[in-house]
Amino acid sequence: MTKTKVAIIGSGNIGTDLMIKIMRLSKTLEMGAFVGIDPESDGLKRAARMGVPITAEGIEGLVAMPEFADIKIVFDATSAGAHHKHNAVLQAHGKRVVDLTPAAIGPYTIPPVNGLDHLDAPNVNMVTCGGQATIPMVHAVNRVAKVHYGEIVASISSKSAGPGTRANIDEFTETTSQAICRCGRRDARQGDHHPQPRRTAADHARYRLLPVRGRRPRGDCQIGGRHGRRSADLCARLSPQTGGAVRKHR
């Protein structure tokens, strides 16, 4: 069977991990190019050792590579800001784009929930890692009991959070919040995500869906959390409505 050639933009932890998984596990995908902007990055050096064509000249370098013509799908594992430029360039060349940043250009896609709905989308928005881990649970619970409010608490190791992740905390929060409402329960009015980076690898990933009793919060989807821009305002507005169920994280 002929495999589909793909490229990955972003030589950090996420891009490098995806490259290794494709090469070791995929029966349908084949690495065609690995793209970064730092020629000294560990990811690019590892890709070169594994025999993957590389470039350290970003999206322009990818387009200039002879392998680019055979690439059908491009995974973007950079940042929300960079993805807007990357998507514009790739769409002009007719490439299918899988967005692994919180840029949220394409439709929100959670495979267990709506994976078959966007097979023809030119840009597939994979939300965030926190969203992928928890929105299926929100969706499953909502099928048997009405979900009025969902809160995600995500903890990751600081060593696993690269500069792109740290620069996108607000986008990460907002994109996850919107996806809770649109994919977890489409008529839900409130979805909150509280990312809490840890300093050790012991609590690498910890996700919880917290039920909240009391009056249903008013207003559209909000964002919150210790690292969100509007966390204090959100807590102040929601606490009286939910009987104190929403509290600031210590």
> Which residues are part of the catalytic machinery?
129
Q: Cβ distance 32 to 67 under 8 Å? A: yes
| Residue 224 backbone zone (phi > 0: left; psi -120 to 50: alpha; other: beta) | beta
Q: Cβ distance 231 to 224 under 8 Å? A: yes
The CA-based diameter of the chain, rounded to the nearest angstrom, is 61
Q: Cβ distance 146 to 76 under 8 Å? A: no
Instruction: Dig out the tokens for 53 from the structure.
Output: 């064509």
Phi, then psi, of 3 in degrees rounded to 5:
-85, 155
Residue 160's contacts (CB-CB under 8 Å, 6 or more residues apart) are: 13, 201, 204
Q: Cβ distance 205 to 235 under 8 Å? A: no
32 three-state secondary structure: strand
Nearest by Cα to 134 from 194, 90, 71: 194
> How many Å apart are CA 222 and CA 237, to the nearest integer?
11
